[in-house]
Amino acid sequence: MEPIIKVKDVVFRYEGEDEPVLNSASLEIEEGAFVVVLGHNGSGKSTLAKHLNGILIPNEGSVLVRGMDTRDENKILDIRRTVGMVFQNPDNQMVASVVEDDVAFAPENLGLPPEEIRARVDEALKLVDMYDYRLHSPHLLSGGQKQRVAIAGVIAMRPRCIVLDEPTAMLDPRGRREVMDTIKRLCRENGITIVLITHHMNEAIDADRVFVMSNGRVVSQGTPREVFSDIDALKAEGLTVPDTAELLYELRLAGLEFPNGTLTVEECARAIAAALK
């Protein structure tokens, strides 16, 4: 099956800058997958995210969304209907004083009939468990609730893919958990392709595929078990690893033996119990 997004040898530099932020970056994202992009600050991951729905256009190389080239100005509206974006600070995406009006903003701009807008708003708010807050002011919500409203605003566009650029960076642990539960449910239960840009390594454990970026290119990719099994390589890129992988890494250095690919909390607990017998 053709990938929903195909990034091929993309080079991008910001105006006035000599060094490219993206340097022959390439990756493919399968439809319906939960994909995580990792990288240290300055690795190019957020710049890559903005290429996935045509906010930024490559200087070289190409980005194809369901076969549509982001360079084609005639296709840019269709591309943005296919790939929605959620950013780090939900306050920057709030445009109305009532939650349901905020979610309705994008469908209204599409010129949809009122009954269609109503249906999309209700559907989107229910999908992110925020329907009961539809008449609240967005600015009185918690950080996690605001981010879920921002996600609902994108869902109301009926995209096939949602790119989330560090959506949990400004949230407390409860807010992060709310947002992560929401986006995983959208992927697993509703078939929406999720591309999560994050520096929280634990958020990558349940992904279908992980891409690691450094110096503007993809330096590692695979399942979470494959990527996080090479801890020395990740540390060489200045990255941390999930807490479970870090714990077993330190215990291995102390002389204990554990099977490769142990990643979840449950697997970690069983492995430690077996090693201590």
Average pLDDT over the chain reads 92
pLDDT at residue 94 above 90?
A: no
User: Is 146 a domain residue?
Assistant: yes
User: Is 256 a domain residue?
Assistant: no
> Of how many residues is the chain composed?
277
Report the share of the chain in percent with pLDDT over 70: 100
pLDDT at 118: 96
**Which H/E stretch holds residue 2?**
none
User: Is 198 a domain residue?
Assistant: yes
> Using 50, 70 and 90 to split pLDDT, how confident is the model at 161?
very high
User: Is 239 a domain residue?
Assistant: no
Sheet holding 83-86, edge to edge: 83-86, 161-165, 193-197, 34-39, 209-214, 217-222
Of 77, 83, 67, 93, residue with least CA distance to 192: 83
pLDDT at 1: 61
Print burial letters for 142-159: b (CB count within 10 Å at least 16), e (below 16). Answer: ebbbbbbbbbbbbbbbeb
User: Is 98 a domain residue?
Assistant: yes
**pLDDT per residue over 102-133, tens digit each?**
999 989 988 899 999 999 999 999 999 999 99
SS3 content of the chain, % helix, strand, coil (to 5): 45, 20, 35
| Angle subtended at Cα 201 by Cα 159 and Cα 262, rounded to the nearest 5 degrees | 110
pLDDT at 76: 94
Q: Which residues contact 102 (CB under 8 A, 6 or more apart)?
A: 94, 95, 96, 138, 149, 153
User: Is 212 a domain residue?
Assistant: yes
Q: Which residues contact 240 (CB under 8 A, 6 or more apart)?
A: 201, 234, 246
Q: In terms of residue numbers, what domain contains 105? A: 5-223
Residue 8 · residue 30 · CB < 8 Å? no
| Cα(60)–Cα(77) distance, integer angstroms | 22
> Using 50, 70 and 90 to split pLDDT, how confident is the model at 180?
very high
User: Is 241 a domain residue?
Assistant: no
Of 76, 131, 83, residue with least CA distance to 103: 131
The total number of structural domains that make up the chain: 1
Segment of 55-59, 166-170, 259-263 carrying the highest mean pLDDT: 55-59
Domain harbouring 30, CATH code: 3.40.50.300
Q: What is the mean pLDDT of residues 181-194?
A: 94
pLDDT at 63: 98
**pLDDT per residue over 263-272, tens digit each?**
888 888 988 8
User: Is 235 a domain residue?
Assistant: no
**pLDDT per residue over 4-42, tens digit each?**
999 999 999 999 888 999 999 999 999 999 999 998 888
Q: What is the mean pLDDT of residues 59-79?
A: 96
pTM here is 0.91
